[in-house]
Chains A and B, each alone.
Chain A
Amino acid sequence: MLIEFKDVSKSFKKQQVLKEINLQMKEDEIFGIIGPSGAGKTTLIRLLIGAISADEGKIRLSDYQVPDLKALNILGYMPQNDALYNDLSGEDNLLFFGGMYQQLKKAELKHRVKEVLELVELSEDAVKKVIHYSGGMKKRLSLAVALLHSPQVLILDEPTVGIDPLLRKKIWDEFYELKKQGKTIIVTTHVMDEAIKCDRLALLYNGSIIACDEVEALLNRTKNHSIEELFLAQGGKQV
Chain B
Amino acid sequence: MKTWVIVKRIIRQTVNDKRSMGLILIVPLFLFTLIYFLLGDSEYSPTIAIHGLPEQLVVELKEQDVTVIDYGMEEGKAAVKDETVDAFLYLEQQEMVLLIETSDAVKSSVIQKAIQNATKELNPGGGMRTEQLYGDSEESMFNNLGYVLLGVISFFLIFILAGISFVRERTNQTMERLMITPVKRWQVVLGYTLGFGVFAMLQSILLLAYVKWVLHMSIQGSLLAAGCVMILLSMTAVCMGAFCSIYANNEFQMMQFIPMIVIPQIFFSGLISLDTIPYHLGVLAKVMPVYYACDALKAIIIKGATLSEVVMELLALLIFIGLFFILNIFALKKYRRI
Contact = CB atoms under 8 A, between A and B. Distances in A.
B17 interface: yes
B20 to A, nearest CB: 8
Contact of A51 (B5, B183, B184, B336): B336
B172 A100 contact: no
A99 B191 CA distance: 13
B163 to A, nearest CB: 17
A238 interface: no
Interface in A94-108: 96-97, 99-102
Contacts of B14: 87
A12 to B, nearest CB: 13
B183 A83 contact: no
B172 A82 contact: yes
Given A81-B172, A100-B183, A101-B182, A50 B177 contact: no
Interface string B1-34: 0100110010011101100000000000000000
A50 B286 CA distance: 39
A67 B336 contact: yes
Contact of B9 (A53, A80, A83, A92): A92
Contact of B177 (A53, A67, A145): A145
A18 to B, nearest CB: 16
A100 B338 contact: no
A130 to B, nearest CB: 10
Given A53-B337, A69-B338, A83 B177 contact: yes
Contact of B12 (A53, A70, A92, A100): A92
B176 A100 contact: no
B337 A67 contact: yes
Contacts of A73: 182
B336 A84 contact: no
Contact of B182 (A51, A81, A100): A100
Nearest to B9: A96
Given A83-B172, A88-B9, A92-B9, A50 B338 contact: yes
B281 to A, nearest CB: 37
Interface in A53-90: 53, 67-70, 72-73, 75, 77, 79-88
A197 to B, nearest CB: 24
A64 B184 CA distance: 17
A185 interface: no
A163 interface: no
A152 to B, nearest CB: 14
A92 B337 CA distance: 28
Given A67-B336, A83-B174, A88 B12 contact: yes
Contacts of A49: 180, 336
A84 B178 CA distance: 10
A52 interface: yes
B13 A68 contact: no
B335 interface: yes
Interface in A26-67: 49-53, 67
29 contacts: A51-B180, A51-B337, A52-B337, A69-B182, A69-B184, A70-B182, A72-B181, A72-B182, A73-B182, A79-B173, A79-B177, A80-B173, A82-B173, A83-B172, A83-B174, A83-B176, A85-B9, A87-B16, A88-B9, A88-B12, A88-B13, A92-B12, A96-B9, A100-B2, A100-B5, A100-B182, A100-B183, A102-B182, A145-B177
Interface of B: 2, 5-6, 9, 12-14, 16-17, 172-174, 176-184, 335-338
Interface of A: 49-53, 67-70, 72-73, 75, 77, 79-88, 92, 96-97, 99-102, 129, 145
